[in-house]
């Protein structure tokens, strides 16, 4: 049969739960919370849109915000290697919480590792 696109494998509902579980951890993380807004509802809404298209679903992020230009959109924030690691730890724990496992999780997580490392824009500051 036709191979499932990753977005159809995870489904909108689990993706939404994943993003909520992720930002719950971000908001409590001492290395991440200080660079994020206090109210993460708009951030989570955009991340749901972004990950939908990242996983091959409809391009709803770009339809509302234009080309992602992710690295440029992160320029205002000091993304140190430490913070990239913290981001990935929050994501891994969120994946545990919504029971993502197996090859799907592995492939998705490995893509996020590459994207997170690409966001690093500050190699100096110690937080
Ligand atoms: C926005 C931090 C990695 C996707 C943001 C914002 C911060 C941030 C502070 C702004 C939040 C706001 O003003 O609402 C970080 C840090 C990362 C990281 C510390 C560690 C490497 C990633 C990765 C992705 C991603 C790997 C994608 C897989 C996004 C998206 C937005 C965003 C889609 C919203 C952009 C917009 O305003 O339209 N991030 N981020 N980020 N981040 Fe990250």
For atom 31 of ligand 1, the residue with the nearest CA is 47
Residues 73-117: pLDDT tens digits? 999 999 999 999 999 999 999 999 999 999 999 999 999 999 999
Please determine, for residue 127, whether its predicted confidence score (pLDDT) is greater than 60: no
Closest to 44 (Cα-Cα) out of 5, 90, 82, 75: 90
pLDDT score recorded for residue 91: 99
- The answer to whether position 108 is within a domain reads yes
ipTM above 0.85, yes or no: yes
- 61 Cα to the center of ligand 1, angstroms: 13
- The answer to whether position 84 is within a domain reads yes
- Residue 66 three-state SS: coil
Please determine, for residue 1, whether its predicted confidence score (pLDDT) is greater than 80: no
In this structure, how many other beta carbons lie within 10 angstroms of the beta carbon of residue 98?
19
Residues 22-46: pLDDT tens digits? 999 999 999 999 999 999 999 999 9
For atom 18 of ligand 1, the residue with the nearest CA is 116
pLDDT score recorded for residue 2: 75
CA 3 and chain centroid, separation: 24
Residues 56-75: pLDDT tens digits? 999 999 999 999 999 999 99
- Split into its structural domains, the chain has a count of 1
Q: What is the DSSP-derived secondary structure letter of residue 31?
A: T
Give me the CATH number covering residue 73.
1.10.490.10
- The answer to whether position 1 is within a domain reads no
- The answer to whether position 124 is within a domain reads no
- The answer to whether position 18 is within a domain reads yes
- 9 Cα to the center of ligand 1, angstroms: 23
Residue from 29, 42, 70 to probe ligand 1 pocket by mutation (most atoms less than 8 Å from CB): 70
- 74 Cα to the center of ligand 1, angstroms: 6
Q: Which atom of ligand 1 is nearest to the CA of 111?
A: 28
- The answer to whether position 2 is within a domain reads no
Structural domain including 84 reads: 7-119
- The answer to whether position 127 is within a domain reads no
- The answer to whether position 73 is within a domain reads yes
């Amino acid at each position: 049969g036709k191979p499932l696109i990753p977005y159809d494998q995870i489904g909108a509902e689990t993706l939404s739960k994943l993003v909520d579980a992720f930002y719950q951890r971000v908001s409590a993380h001492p290395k991440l919370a200080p660079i994020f807004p206090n109210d993460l509802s708009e951030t989570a809404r955009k991340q749901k849109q972004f990950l939908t298209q990242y996983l091959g679903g409809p391009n709803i992020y770009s339809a509302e915000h234009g080309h992602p230009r992710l690295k440029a959109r992160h320029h205002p924030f000091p993304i140190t290697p430490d913070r990239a690691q913290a981001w990935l730890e929050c994501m891994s724990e969120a994946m545990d919480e919504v029971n993502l496992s197996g090859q799907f999780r592995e492939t998705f997580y490995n893509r996020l590792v590459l994207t997170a490392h690409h966001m690093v824009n500050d190699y100096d500051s110690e937080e």
